[in-house]
Amino acid sequence: MPHTKLRRLVTISVAVTLGATALAACGSSDDSDSEADSGPVSLTYWSWTPGMDKVADLWNKGQGKKDQITVTVKKQASGDTLVTKILTAHKAKKAPDLVQAEYQALPTLVSNDALADIAGEVDGVKDKFAEGVWQQTTLGSDAVYAIPQDSGPMMFYYREDLFKKYDLEVPQTWDEFAETARALKKKSPDTDLTTFSANDSGLFAGLAQQAGAKWWTTEGDQWKVGIDDAASQKVADFWGGLVKEGAVDNQPMYTPAWNKALNTGKQIAWVSAVWAPGTLTTAAPDTKGKWAMAPLPQWSGSENVTGSWGGSSTAVTTDSKNKSAAAKFATWLNTDPEALTALAKEGGIYPATTTAQTSGAFTEPPAFFSNQPDFYTKASEIAKTTAPSAWGPNVNVAYTTFNDAFGSAAKNKSDFGAALKTMQDDTVADLKKQGFEVAE
């Protein structure tokens, strides 16, 4: 009996000690770099780009060694989840010094006071980027909240061999695109030109952007939401019509079924962005060398614009104790030729700086597009035509509503215009609920 009691006591005290240790671990992560901007500095960087640690090593061994700035990369999940994670860390005043953020997430992060204004640290950097790209990091103010890293100009991808087989022309306008879809249905009823997918809002946002939509704008101290403006309505009606008449498929992208459709030629085109070769390599491995890239179809023959889908920037957080050191690294990472070449090689990104888009790293086409030697020359020309984008503080709300409203509209082949209206209404309602002033 006493023996059992003793054992139990030991067990309990072990449990308590473990609990206490866990608590101590929670509380004692105080920053070692409180000496601020003098002497050696170490920075943490949250990024999802593969191989970013290798690029940071280049810095740590070169420029960083001179400036006594060491950068440690912590690999993260991409997109929305990272935004939440940054905001949570920021709430505890423990956000890392540097974060990777998609352009459309910047207003949300800025509105939560998570990103520092680094305008004073980045003189002359602006000229290295296309106007439409840089403007996304300033949110229309004098501040600079991030430095552009990669961009995702949209393009039209198609199966060159199957277009020849079905005797189809590469569409120059969206009208021709619709005709192509119908012509293909007539020739081969089981084959679709492409699908309208409701699971990636970025695609629709990019298409609306190409049509001239401005989803979030400011008027004095008020936000104006234009998700159901004429340009977006045009895009929604166009795709809604194609889905309704059955000219294109209505199933989501990135599913095993979608991979198979691309791999077997059941879907023969994809409206995508510059990063598509990477996705196609894994989704449709058997079709290597059979695809070609062309500019996105236009709304009128005289136009030459594209939207952007994806792309991200490097930002310095307000929690960083070494903001100018962090800004220095962010500038190096996104403008230094050596860094950009490494980023392109290790991370497979398409850089936002205009000079890097035609640099040595981009003389060869992606391996999957070996049949199109001028892939990157063409891409950089298309990138120059990117329409400006307009993001607001609740893109995440608009995007989730898009998933649900357009998901069910695509499923039921019902009115896409109504889905767009839902998206507008929910976005406005959320802004008002948070206390933003909204212009009607």
Partner 1 sequence: MTSARRKSYGVKGAPYAFLLPAAVLFALFFALPIGYALWLSLHKVQVKGLGLGAGARKEVWAGLENYTDSLTDSELLHGALRVLGYGAIVIPVMLGLALLFALMLDTDRVRLAPFTRLAIFLPYAIPGVVAAMLWGFLYLPDVSPFYFILDKLGMPQPDLLDGGPLYLALSNIAVWGGTGFNMIVIYTSLRAIPTEVYEAAKLDGATPLQTALRIKIPMVAPSLVLTFFFSIIATLQVFSEPTTLKPLTNSVSTTWSPLMKVYQDAFRTGDIYSAAATAVIIALVTLLMSFGFLRAANSRNKQEEAR
Residues within the interface to partner 1 (CB under 8 A): 12-13, 15-16, 19, 23, 80-81, 83-84, 87, 107-108, 110-113, 117, 139, 141, 143, 198-199, 218, 221-223, 250-252, 254-257, 260-261, 318, 393-394, 396-397, 400, 403-404, 407-408, 410-411, 430, 434-437
- The nearest distance, CB 295 to partner 1, in angstroms, is 29
b/e per residue 288-325 (b: at least 16 CB within 10 A): eebbbbbbbbbbeeeeebbbbbbbbbbbbbbbbbbbbb
- Rounded least distance, CB 117 to partner 1, Å: 8
Nearer to partner 1, 370 or 412 (CB): 412
Q: From the DSSP assignment, how many helices (H) and strands (E) are in the chain?
A: 17, 10
Q: Name which of 167 and 440 has its Cβ closer to partner 1.
A: 440
Record the tokens describing residue 183, joined without a space: 């012509």
For partner 1, the closer CB: 79 or 277: 79
Closer to partner 1 by Cβ: residue 115 or 344: 115
Helix, strand and coil in the chain, % to nearest 5: 50, 15, 35
Separation of alpha carbons 284 and 271, rounded Å: 15
Could you give the CA distance from residue 282 to residue 255 in angstroms, rounded to a whole number? Answer: 12
- What is each CA distance from 353 to 58, 232, 313, 359, 381, in whole angstroms? 19, 29, 11, 10, 13
* Rounded least distance, CB 255 to partner 1, Å: 5
> Residue 280's CB: how many other CB atoms inside 10 A?
23
Structure tokens at 234: 């045009």
CA distance 5 to 243: 72
Cα–Cα distance measured from residue 143 to residue 356, given in angstroms and rounded to the nearest whole number: 25
Q: Quick one: 113 or 364, whose CB is closer to partner 1?
A: 113
Nearer to partner 1, 51 or 107 (CB): 107
* CB 277 to partner 1: min, Å: 22
User: In angstroms, what is the minimal distance from the CB of 366 to partner 1?
Assistant: 26
How many alpha carbons fall within 13 Å on the CB side of residue 342? 17
Angle at 12 between CA 6 and CA 15, to 5 degrees: 145
Closest approach of Cβ 324 to partner 1, in Å?
Answer: 18
Least distance CB 385 / partner 1 (angstroms): 29
Half-sphere exposure of 175 (CA within 13 A, CB side): 3
Report in angstroms how near the CB of residue 364 gets to partner 1 at its nearest.
33
Nearer to partner 1, 108 or 313 (CB): 108
- By beta-carbon proximity to partner 1, the closer residue of 92 and 124 is 92
Q: Choose between 219 and 303: whose C-beta lies nearer to partner 1.
A: 219
Q: From edge to edge, which strands make up the β-sheet containing 438-439?
A: 216-219, 222-225, 438-439
The DSSP result for 51-63, as a single string, is: THHHHHHHHHHTH
Backbone angles phi, psi at 337, to 5 degrees: -55, -40
CB of 429 to partner 1, least distance (A): 11
